Amino acid sequence: MLHDLQRDFAGVALTNSVAALLPHVSAARGSTERRLSVYHANTLNSLTDVLSAAYPVVQRIVGDRFFYGLAKAFIAAHPPRQPALFRYGDALPEFLTQFEPAKTLPYLADMARLEWARLDAYFAADCDPIDPQQLANVPPEQISNLKFTMHPAYRLLESNFPIFTIWAVNQPDLDPVPEVDFDQSEDGYVSRLTHTVIQRALPSDTLSWLRALKDGETLGTATALAMACDEAFDLQNTLRQHLADGTFSNFHV
């Protein structure tokens, strides 16, 4: 009985469906429906705030009114499943690919994926990156057999749109705003260096190299794949850059 009542109340809070609950509640004065609407407004507003905090660039691109409508549709279709909200909104990128009113902005779902990757990286487990000195101690003949473990915050992203550039031009107070070539595609990664989320667009050779290492290939195999993409692939500089970015948390032979 209590369970049924609670299911009815959740329906009020999430979608303002009051009919089932009305016979069970009363107001000391005035309209009972209006009092129930307070619970719906609280729930909708607080979940919308969670989505706003997770997707600031999506909101900036579509504007507040559109975003609130999107949030309302998303919340009705995907109510939270976990009683902690730092993971709420992970289904929004996929939802956006099917969201009819957003069809005129084909890059929006990828922008949401980038923003979710940033949030995910922000909350990822703490882990010290590889100390470059340790790597320097590996005997030269074993270098090409090295395998790396990626930092828990590390995420690769591939897009048919220039999402890293679009993200950058949508940061507040940017002056002057550079031109965006929407015909460009951009791949890249998001990670966290101690407490700061970082992101970089990557050329295709480096992307192949990182994807291979992430999939557990050896440094030798990854480098061969990168050079197949672009024979000018510069292993030394690329490795140095990624050690500085804390991309790897461990290595073994």
Partner 1 sequence: MAAFASGTPDAAWVEIHSENFFVPGGPRLAQLEDVRSHYAISCHGVGLSLGSAQGVDVDHLSTLRDLVDRIEPGLVSEHLSFSVVDDIYVNDLLPLPYTEEALQAVVRNVDQTQEAIGREILIENPSSYLAFVDSVLTEWDFLAELSQRSGCGLLLDVNNIYVSAENNGFDVSTYLEGVPGDAVGEIHLAGHSIDGSGEERLLIDTHGDVVAGPVWTLYQQALEKLGPRPTLIEWDTDIPELEVLLAEAHTAQRHLDAVSMPEDSSRVA
Confirm or reject binding of residue 138 to partner 1 (CB under 8 A).
no
How many other CB atoms sit within 10 Å of the CB of residue 95? 17
Q: Around Cβ 186, how many Cβ atoms within 10 Å? A: 19
The answer to the question of residue 6 lying near partner 1 (CB under 8 A) is yes
Torsion sign, CA atoms 112, 70, 59, 48: negative
Q: Is residue 218 a contact partner of residue 137, using CB atoms and an 8 Å limit?
A: no
Q: Is 252 in the site for partner 1 (CB under 8 A)?
A: no
Q: Are 166 and 107 in contact (CB under 8 A)?
A: yes
Cβ(8)–Cβ(24) below 8 Å: yes
Q: For partner 1, which is the closer residue by CB, 36 or 112?
A: 36
Residues 172-231 that bind partner 1 (CB under 8 A): 192, 195
- DSSP states of 196-242: EEEEEEE-HHHHHHHHHHHTT--HHHHHHHHHHH-TT--HHHHHHHH
Q: Contact at 8 Å (CB) between 100 and 77?
A: no
Beta-bridged to residue 201, according to DSSP, are: 188
In whole angstroms, the minimum distance from the beta carbon of 247 to partner 1 comes to: 16
**3-state SS string over 61-73?**
HHCHHHHHHHHHH
How far is Cα 190 from Cα 59, in angstroms, rounded to an integer? 20
Residue placing its CB nearer to partner 1 in the complex, 71 or 222: 71
Q: Which stretch binds partner 1 (CB under 8 A): 32-40, 168-176, 211-219, 240-248?
A: 32-40
Total residues at the site for partner 1 (CB under 8 A)?
49
Find the part of the chain contacting partner 1 (CB under 8 A) among 21-29, 101-109, 140-148, 205-213: 21-29
How near is the Cβ of 229 to partner 1 at its closest, in Å? Answer: 33
Q: Which x/- pattern over 54-93 shows residues binding partner 1 (rule: CB under 8 A)?
A: -------------------------xxxxxxxx-x-----
Q: Which residue of 5, 76, 177, 253 would you call a contact of partner 1, by CB under 8 A?
A: 5
Min dist. Cβ of residue 49 to partner 1 (A): 9
Minimum Å distance from CB 91 to partner 1? 14
- Which residues of the shown chain bind partner 1 in the complex (CB under 8 A)? 1-3, 5-7, 9-10, 13-14, 23-32, 34-36, 38-39, 42-43, 46-47, 50, 79-86, 88, 122-127, 152-153, 192, 195
